[in-house]
Amino acid sequence: MEYEAVIGLEVHVQLKTQSKLFTAVEHRFGAEPNTLTNSVIWAFPGVLPVINYEAIRKTIKVGMLFGCKIPEITKWDRKNYFYPDSPKNYQLSQYDQPLCLGGGVEIELPSANGSDMGEHRVVKLTRIHLEEDVGKLTHFSSDSLVDYNRAGIPLMEIVSEPDMHSGDEAFAYLNALKSVISFAGVSDCDMEKGQMRADVNISVRPKGSDKLGVKIEMKNMNSPSHVRSCIDYEIRRQIDCIKNGVPLVQETRRWDVQLGVTQTMRTKEEAHDYRYFPDPDLMPVMISEELKAQIKAELPEVPFERQRRYMSDYGLPYSATSVLCHDIELCSFFEESLKTYSKNPKGTANLITNDLLREIYSKSESEEDSSDDFESVSEEAVKPSHQSKLAECKVTPENLALLVKLGDDGVISKQMAKEVFAEMFSSGKNPESIVEEKGLRQNSDGGELEKFCIEAMSKNQKAIDQYKAGNAKAINALIGPVMKASGGKANPAMVLEIMKRLIG
């Protein structure tokens, strides 16, 4: 019998607001433990919550980007449970009247060769609701410590339908969420800092069946690659259990990154009764049509739409757009460059996605190698993020555009452009000044180039005969000596044209 997996994700995203969800206390990463708290966070008697308006706006914004329905009225509920990370012993959340309903997330699955556009599909959403984050427990061998700095941070929970069937789909889904939410400026989605975390629900069933199998849950995963590996392993494990007659029980498991296996944390025979009830201290919120219109006017172009536009309007290849269009910083750099010089968007995109990123990654890796400190990090953190490094880069969009123009105008060759770019990245100088300082201006003097060509031809009759016989590549043996004689400054296009004329 063949089996298929059914996967649903609950993704928690911390919103980028100045204060917490129900109090004016600021929130930021890296503060000393238990310093970003107050009487509301500690749930002292008599304190009252006050809703963060910006958190509501940002959640609605994300809902609109994913095509959710925004109801007229939403309310707040108490989710009751007892755990050390929740000082109130309940969490303010949303139960039956969330901010966003339905919708879907467009994802792209990898193609067979990895370099072409893959299959696109939409993963259906159940809801998006807003709630407060809880504190963070750090476990040691004999005790645990709790830090309430995270408690009360606005937390957007995005709940998918059980609409995915593989680790690759879940990986693509998480990356699509990160791209869209980051583009909207709603959250940085830094999974290393806990700003985005995923709970994964996995079950398997006979292929063709519409009945769900026993649900196994993975909690608080903070890496798309770990989610993918965990799902792939868990699918194999569950299928092996079924085939060998081992009963599956509803439980929560953890992913052991080092061993590459899932391990039981606790069994859950029945759904937990959180005894939801409307919070008596918070009034329901009415979402007006005027507010919806305001937010809709602020919506950015989502990554896949931008990618399709870049391919159609600028003629960019998929390989370039797949790098550019899922990073708002790179998109901004590219579009700013086109404001200075717009005649060669392909050349501009190529410089950004190849030369610029290569230098940024190389610089970041060398800086990391020089550090004596070592910390175990997830796969996403191994390759340094260019988002933070791009702002520090000395190459400006304007200067990069001028470099492309110098090449198009025949002032410098492709090889010279690489030398100029390396100097630009190191010093931040204008490319025109670098060309003048280093004497890199391309030789386009037809008379002088013709003399070089005649000299090269006089020393290689064999290459001339092969070219005349139909071997087009043979002419390269003649162009090389010309480039050498000119000190690498000869205009290759002119040399080729002159050479063909002389031979013909």
Q: Note whether 306 and 283 are same-domain residues.
A: no
**What pLDDT score does 128 carry?**
98
Q: Which of 203, 212, 219 is nearest to 11 (CA)?
A: 219
CB 384 within 8 A of CB 368: yes
- Give the pLDDT mean for 151-165: 97
Q: Note whether 118 and 189 are same-domain residues.
A: yes
- Select, from the ranges 106-115, 352-361, 474-483, the one with the highest average predicted confidence (pLDDT): 352-361
One-letter amino acid at 63 equals G
CA dihedral (14, 19, 21, 25) positive or negative = positive
**What pLDDT score does 395 carry?**
95
380 has a pLDDT exceeding 50: no
Asked which of 396, 419, 438 is the last residue of a domain, the reply is 438
**What pLDDT score does 367 carry?**
59
**What pLDDT score does 364 carry?**
63
**CA distances to 6, 181, 467 from 201, in Å:** 8, 22, 65
- Give the pLDDT mean for 34-63: 96
Q: Note whether 11 and 159 are same-domain residues.
A: yes
315 has a pLDDT exceeding 60: yes
Q: With b meaning 16 or more CB within 10 Å and e meaning fewer, what string describes 444-458? A: eeeeebbebbeebbe
| Structure token pair of residue 182 | 């980051």
CA 407 – CA 401 distance, rounded (Å): 10
Asked which of 243, 260, 291 is the last residue of a domain, the reply is 291
Q: Note whether 419 and 456 are same-domain residues.
A: no
Q: Note whether 398 and 424 are same-domain residues.
A: yes
- In a domain, residue 112? The reply is yes
- In a domain, residue 376? The reply is no
DSSP 26: B
Q: pLDDT-derived band of residue 293, with 50, 70 and 90 as boundaries? A: very high
CA 173 – CA 120 distance, rounded (Å): 11
**What pLDDT score does 169 carry?**
97
40 has a pLDDT exceeding 60: yes
**What pLDDT score does 426 carry?**
93
Question: For the domain that residue 462 is a member of, what is the CATH number?
Answer: 1.10.10.410
Q: pLDDT-derived band of residue 369, with 50, 70 and 90 as boundaries? A: low
Q: Note whether 69 and 193 are same-domain residues.
A: yes
392 has a pLDDT exceeding 90: no
**What pLDDT score does 304 carry?**
96
CA 172 – CA 108 distance, rounded (Å): 6
- In a domain, residue 185? The reply is yes
379 has a pLDDT exceeding 50: no
CA 331 – CA 336 distance, rounded (Å): 8
Q: Note whether 417 and 467 are same-domain residues.
A: no
Q: Which of 128, 151, 90 is nearest to 277 (CA)?
A: 90
Q: Which of 70, 198, 87 is nearest to 132 (CA)?
A: 87
SS3 call for 294: helix
The per-residue DSSP string of 420-467 comes to HHHHHHHH---HHHHHHHHT---B--HHHHHHHHHHHHHT-HHHHHHH
477 has a pLDDT exceeding 70: yes
Q: Which of 82, 58, 78 is nearest to 70 (CA)?
A: 58
Q: pLDDT-derived band of residue 491, with 50, 70 and 90 as boundaries? A: confident
- In a domain, residue 210? The reply is yes
Q: With b meaning 16 or more CB within 10 Å and e meaning fewer, what string describes 272-309? A: eeeeeeebeebeebebeeeeeeebeeeeeebbbebbee
Contacts 24+ apart (CB under 8 A), 28-34: 29/190, 29/193, 29/194, 29/195, 31/149, 33/145, 33/147, 33/149, 34/147, 34/148, 34/149
Q: What is the percentage of the chain residues whose pLDDT exceeds 90?
A: 72
374 has a pLDDT exceeding 50: no
Whose tokens are 């090889």? That residue is 415
Q: Note whether 433 and 454 are same-domain residues.
A: no
HEC letters along 140-159: CCCCEEEECCCCCCEEEEEE
**What pLDDT score does 484 carry?**
85
Rg (CA), the chain: 29
| Structure token pair of residue 150 | 């995270």
Whose tokens are 């607001």? That residue is 17
**What pLDDT score does 362 carry?**
81
Domain count, the chain: 3
| Structure token pair of residue 2 | 């063949």
List the domain range (segments joined by +) for residue 413: 301-371+385-438
- In a domain, residue 378? The reply is no
320-341: per-residue pLDDT in tens?
999 999 999 999 999 999 999 9
Q: Note whether 235 and 314 are same-domain residues.
A: no
- Give the pLDDT mean for 60-68: 98
Mean predicted lDDT score pLDDT of the chain = 90
DSSP 192: G
**What pLDDT score does 413 carry?**
83
- In a domain, residue 380? The reply is no
Indicate the pTM of the whole model: 0.85
Q: Note whether 39 and 68 are same-domain residues.
A: yes
Q: Note whether 492 and 354 are same-domain residues.
A: no
261 has a pLDDT exceeding 50: yes
| Structure token pair of residue 385 | 């993020």
- In a domain, residue 457? The reply is yes
- In a domain, residue 476? The reply is yes
385 has a pLDDT exceeding 70: no
Angle at 333 between CA 371 and CA 390, to 5 degrees: 10
377 has a pLDDT exceeding 50: no
Q: Note whether 362 and 487 are same-domain residues.
A: no
Asked which of 234, 263, 291 is the last residue of a domain, the reply is 291
**What pLDDT score does 350 carry?**
95
88-145: per-residue pLDDT in tens?
999 999 999 999 999 999 999 988 776 789 999 999 999 999 999 999 999 999 999 9
